[in-house]
Structure 1
Amino acid sequence: MEEEIKDLKKRPEDQNNKLIDANNEKESLGSGLEDKEEIIRTKEEKIKILNKRLQDQNDKLIDANNEKESLGSDLEDKEEIIRTKEKEIKILKKRLQDQNERNQDMEKLHTALHEMNRKIESLQAQNQQCKGSEEGPEDNKTEMDEKVEAVKRKLRNHFEGGLNKYVLSHKLPWNLFTQIFKMVLITIQLVMFGNRRITFVEYVESNNIAMKHLFLLHWTPDFETMPYPPTTGPYAIYTSNDLVDHINFAMKQFSHTESLTLGPIRFPDGGFDMAKYLYMCVEQCKEGNVLKNGTYSLDQHVIKDCLHLIPERAYNNGSQETETKFDIMAILKKNNKSLVFDRILKIELKFRLKSYRVSVEKAVNEPECYRIDGMVVFDNTNRNGQMAVHLSTSLKEFICGAEFDDVSTNDSDRFGIVLDIFVMILCVVSFSFCIRSFSIAYALFQHTVDEVKDIPKVLNLICSMKFEFVDLWLVLIIINDVLFVTGSIVKICLENKHAESSSENYDICALMLGIGCGLAFMGIIRYVAFFAKYNILTVVLKKAFPDLMKFLVTTTILYLGSLLCGWVVLGPYHIKFRHLSTASECLFSLINGDEMFTTFSATMTDNTVIWYFSRFYMYTFLVLFIYAATNLFIAVILGTYDIIKKPDFERRNSLQIFYAAEDDQNKEKKNEDESVSEENSCFGCFGKRTCRSMFEKFFGRKRKSSGEDYHQLEEVETEC
């Protein structure tokens, strides 16, 4: 019986707590709109049910009290507990009365809420009428704002990337496709031309080496290699007898060229007239004498004498035959000339031959005929006792003037011509696209200036960023288009015998095609730059360029000072510092860590001061440029890279920020709308946290919820 009394006393407390929570919930929902009225009615019904239950419990409590009075003789020891419970019951009744008063206040608040909703509806109706009376949906903006927005849209459409333009307007980026297709074709064209040019260069070099073996005395293959440092000294002569022997040997060998050579080398004009003889020119001082007192009398005016070296024919008594005598001294004596060896500055032996080249792998091609202009030079201009000897040849193609059997054009040559024509067509198309882009950009700039001329702030921005309308990538594309068209024309002329197949013409064609190819590949970066993750190199270099230039000013000053110091001091004792150009190449190689030990060990001197200076100079240069300058150079680039990788780094310039402002606002508004729709999805105005706190207030925070309560909590969170 006592347990039932406790349960009866505990139930009013629970019901009272539920009433309090319900009233709190009702108050929290009082600021809602009409869509919450149904919920409020439901809660009021629940409150009525709870009141009815409370009355039932009170009736039961009265019955329990009556029963307690009937059992009072048996429960005298529990009277004190009952009195305490009666006090608690009085308190519960008082709370119930307070709750009823709160319910009445809530009904008044609900009535006021209805009136407020009606006022809101009337205000909305008035607002709609005001909007309907205006001229259009954008009439709240001034005419000036409309102009600015129109300019922004045009600028945004112009500067948009090719992929974004395709996504927005579904227009194919023909310029991009043209550049990619052109890049493929010019790569094939360049490979074909490179193979042809290498074959020609190998023929020229091999021909020059053959001439050296034929006409230079004591020439060996050791002089043909390029080891560094060289294993042999320069090819030179040191005595007057050696000079005479070399000239006589060259005369003899040249006269027997056709019988000695393994290649198809012949004398021009059938060897008649003077074609079989060398043409010698001697440059020497006009006068030079050594007086008895040891002084010199020297006239530095240079005189030049030239003559054909026609060998003498003499009768040999031993063989009883007439023989050709190759003696330079006899030839000079016959022509009343002489060689004064201490006045000689330079001797040139000139000759001319002809040859033809046949491609065995392309037997159907017409042979190529070349005129070989050669010259053997004995150089004594330094007058240091060493006369350097070198032979140079140049090949020039000429029309053979003969008939050849089975001569036709093969498939590869036809493909090369067709490829060259396609490349020129693509370059012309690419050139027209670029010119069209420039004209559109200029027209857009003029139109933008005309539209915003009444808005000083925007006009100043457009005028200050006018060079942004000039796309330098398009300038690169235009230059490589011009180079490729010109180079392709020269290539067609060379391959079809309309121009000489000389090293000079091949070099001109190679320069045009090579530079054009490099610029074409650089132009492709323009389209890669539209993707932020792939143009990191160009962005870093563009951002770091001013700092790099400032850094290189100081570095260049130090480098030039070190270069001149090393060249002047170490030049006479170090092979790598002998010339200013080789000294610069040596220092630049040291910065990159190449040939350090060779550079240290190549100082040849007995002067202790020079030797120690060379060590101090090289160690100082290496520490200054490898450990300091190079690392600082890398640090500048890495610092710029770190700045670019930061989230708050703005890659856009002022013009891009200007015309992209509207897009940024739309994106931010869209993101805010999405976040609000995600957070505020419970009853239209409360977030997930509000829903959970509301549920906890309604069902109680500290008490344990039943399974039904948890199920209701999950439903509320699902709705959120």
Structure 2
Amino acid sequence: ESTKEVKMHLKTWNLYLDLKEAALKEDLKFYFMNPCEKYRARRQVPWKLALQILKILMVTTQLVFFGLSNQLVVSFKEENTVAFKHLFLKGYSGVDEDDYSCSIYTQQDAYDSIFYVINQYRQLKNVSLGTLGYEHEGSGLKICKQQYKKGTMLPSNDSLNIDVSTETECIFLKPEELAGKKAELKLNSSFFNLEFYRLIEIEISFKLKGIALQTIHARELPDCYAFQNTITFNNKAHSGKIKIYFDSDTDIQECKDWHIVSSVLQKNTQYILVFDGFVILSCFASLILCTRSIVLAMKLQKRFVNFFLEKYKRHVCHADRLEFINGWYVLVIISDVMTIIGSILKMEIKAKNLTSYDVCSILLGTSTLFVWVGVIRYLGYFQTYNVLILTMQASLPKVLRFCCCAGMIYLGYTFCGWIVLGPYHEKFEDLNTVAECLFSLVNGDDMFATFAQIQQKSMLVWMFSRLYLYSFISLFIYMILSLFIALITDSYDTIKKYQQNGFPVTDLHEFLKDRGSVGYRKEQASIPLVCCCGRSVECF
């Protein structure tokens, strides 16, 4: 009787495992179907697919609207910066000389340029064409000069006696003071008696306010701007040339008191706010659906791992575990979170409660990038596009390892070019510029100009530059770049062979084959529906 009970127990246990296995295989088979196959199998409407398509249209439209609005902001900043240079820089030609705006060479030019800034600031409202004004009554023009402490310098005798420690002295001129006699006393003070052999730099800073009215033509509420302008007379080199730098930091501020007589502007703002609200709702729904799918996938993975351990007494390999983690859903979740935050910021900016244009641009731009990259997932249902996706996935680890090795050589050339060619070539003056120049050479851009611009003051350096450039171009274009392409080509050939002869079979694939799921796939693939091109289980 005990033997019969054991047999009966084993029979019941095997039946339980068979039923459990059948249910698990059915769920696994359904999980790895594409949206069209799921609809045919269980009439499950592909809500996520429809929502992603709708979200692509809405997010892109939202980005276009924000981009057009942001374009007005950028153009207003740039045009004001150019206007400030023409207003406050004496003799400005309209084009910056290098990384600085202009330069002066005589003491008289230095005095003229300094007093020109003061005079233009004093009569700003009479000379400016823009909607500019002083910040407030307490604001003004701040002039600071930095110089070495007292000393003597006689270049003709090659003698120098100077204290290298520096001192800074400042003077403050208010707009109302510039209109009275008090300003004459300050302008004639000893502060403006400059000893150029001690002078390091003079910095003139002032703050102006402005209002962008051009947004009204785009049916948007205007923004208020604060411009922190700084003019620097740089004499650190003491080379007989003073470089004049102009820097303008623009801050968008909320207009404190504004009243615009126009119902069109108010309605247009309300419509855009409502549209942004719908974008947030669609992204929130997408976030919930994708999070739910990931949670269900993790539960299904746990069921499969436990069943495999229970029946076959061994653990599931790492590759099979990764089959349940859908990276596209993770990408969509990140995109949805960024879109929701960016849309909230955009609504606040539209309502003129916030002015964080840069943060909002990064969030909306990156989220839109991720949304469009996510379209690749649905293109993967077509065999031709699936080859591209699988090739990218297979080649990525090898490409990253290869780039790490090539990057070491690239860094070596970067440091070498900076230290040797920096004094003789403008494209090698700093590390960032050297890296950009070498990257351009790898892509075959601007080669002749890089060779031709080297100064021939030192024959040794000129010969080294030829050896340096020829070796870099030959190494990276003919060898490293070719190997880089070969890695991707090798992955493509491997994927093509797998599609012809079959992909490597793992425990998960063998487990699903037992119920003839592959035959089911091939049968489904033969249905003449373009959107439902089936994939074998191995493609997942």
TM-score by length of 1: 0.65
Task: Quote how far apart the aligned CAs of 1:660 are.
Answer: 2.9
Q: Which has the larger radius of gyration?
A: 1
Task: Quote how far apart the aligned CAs of 1:330 are.
Answer: 4.3
Q: Which residue of 1 aligns with 2:70?
A: 197
Is the counterpart of residue 531 in structure 1 residue 394 in structure 2?
no
Task: Quote how far apart the aligned CAs of 1:187 are.
Answer: 0.5
Residue among 525, 546, 556 paired with 2:407: 556
Task: Quote how far apart the aligned CAs of 1:163 are.
Answer: 2.0
**Conservation of the 8 A alpha-carbon contact between 2:320 and 2:508:** no
* C-alpha separation in 1, matches of 2:378 and 2:30: 16
Q: How does 1:400-419 map to 2 (within 5 A)?
A: 400-406=256-262, 409=265, 411-419=267-275
Q: Which residue of 2 aligns with 1:657?
A: 509
Residue among 410, 423, 444 paired with 1:572: 423
Q: 1:139 to 1:368 in 2, by over 3 A?
A: closer
Is the counterpart of residue 281 in structure 1 residue 144 in structure 2?
yes
Q: 1:364 to 1:568 in 2, by over 3 A?
A: closer
Q: Secondary structure of the residue that 1:452 maps to in structure 2? A: helix
Taking only the aligned residue pairs, the percentage that are identical comes to 31
Task: Quote how far apart the aligned CAs of 1:516 are.
Answer: 0.7
Is the counterpart of residue 164 in structure 1 residue 27 in structure 2?
no
Deviates more, 1:403-412 or 1:195-204: 403-412
Q: 1:209 to 1:491 in 2, by over 3 A?
A: same
Q: Which residue of 2 aligns with 1:387?
A: 242
**Conservation of the 8 A alpha-carbon contact between 1:244 and 1:328:** no
* C-alpha separation in 1, matches of 2:280 and 2:259: 33
Q: Secondary structure of the residue that 1:223 maps to in structure 2? A: coil
Task: Quote how far apart the aligned CAs of 1:626 are.
Answer: 1.2
* C-alpha separation in 1, matches of 2:381 and 2:507: 16
- Structure 2 unpaired stretches of 5+: 1-7, 524-540
Is the counterpart of residue 436 in structure 1 residue 292 in structure 2?
yes
Task: Quote how far apart the aligned CAs of 1:355 are.
Answer: 2.0
Q: Which residue of 1 aligns with 2:538?
A: none
Q: How does 1:689-704 map to 2 (within 5 A)?
A: none
Amino acid at match of 2:334: I
Q: 1:211 to 1:247 in 2, by over 3 A?
A: same
- Structure 1 unpaired stretches of 5+: 1-134, 225-229, 315-321, 672-720
Amino acid at match of 2:81: N
Q: 1:190 to 1:668 in 2, by over 3 A?
A: closer
Q: Secondary structure of the residue that 2:407 maps to in structure 1? A: helix
Amino acid at match of 2:510: F
* C-alpha separation in 2, matches of 1:410 and 1:668: 58
Q: Which residue of 2 aligns with 1:240?
A: 107
Q: Which residue of 2 aligns with 1:640?
A: 491
Q: 1:449 to 1:543 in 2, by over 3 A?
A: closer
Amino acid at match of 1:667: G
Task: Quote how far apart the aligned CAs of 1:278 are.
Answer: 1.7
Task: Quote how far apart the aligned CAs of 1:262 are.
Answer: 1.3
Q: Which residue of 1 aligns with 2:206?
A: 351
Amino acid at match of 2:345: V
Deviates more, 1:285-294 or 1:474-483: 285-294
Q: Which residue of 2 aligns with 1:304?
A: 168
* C-alpha separation in 1, matches of 2:436 and 2:127: 42
Amino acid at match of 1:466: R
Q: 1:666 to 1:308 in 2, by over 3 A?
A: closer
Q: Which residue of 1 aligns with 2:307?
A: 451
* C-alpha separation in 2, matches of 1:297 and 1:649: 85
Amino acid at match of 2:92: W
* C-alpha separation in 2, matches of 1:265 and 1:633: 55
Amino acid at match of 1:418: V
**Conservation of the 8 A alpha-carbon contact between 1:476 and 1:519:** yes
Task: Quote how far apart the aligned CAs of 1:464 are.
Answer: 6.2
Residue among 361, 374, 392 paired with 1:541: 392
Task: Quote how far apart the aligned CAs of 1:497 are.
Answer: 0.8
Is the counterpart of residue 627 in structure 1 residue 478 in structure 2?
yes
Q: 1:325 to 1:218 in 2, by over 3 A?
A: farther
Is the counterpart of residue 208 in structure 1 residue 81 in structure 2?
yes
Size of the aligned set, in residue pairs, is: 511
Residue among 320, 328, 332 paired with 2:189: 332
Larger relative contact order, structure 1 or 2 (CA cutoff 8 Å, min sep 6): 2
Q: 1:156 to 1:284 in 2, by over 3 A?
A: farther
* C-alpha separation in 1, matches of 2:339 and 2:425: 44
Q: Secondary structure of the residue that 1:210 maps to in structure 2? A: helix
Is the counterpart of residue 613 in structure 1 residue 464 in structure 2?
yes
CA RMSD for the aligned pairs? Answer: 3.4
TM-score by length of 2: 0.85
**Conservation of the 8 A alpha-carbon contact between 1:366 and 1:408:** no
Q: Secondary structure of the residue that 1:304 maps to in structure 2? A: strand
Q: Secondary structure of the residue that 1:373 maps to in structure 2? A: strand
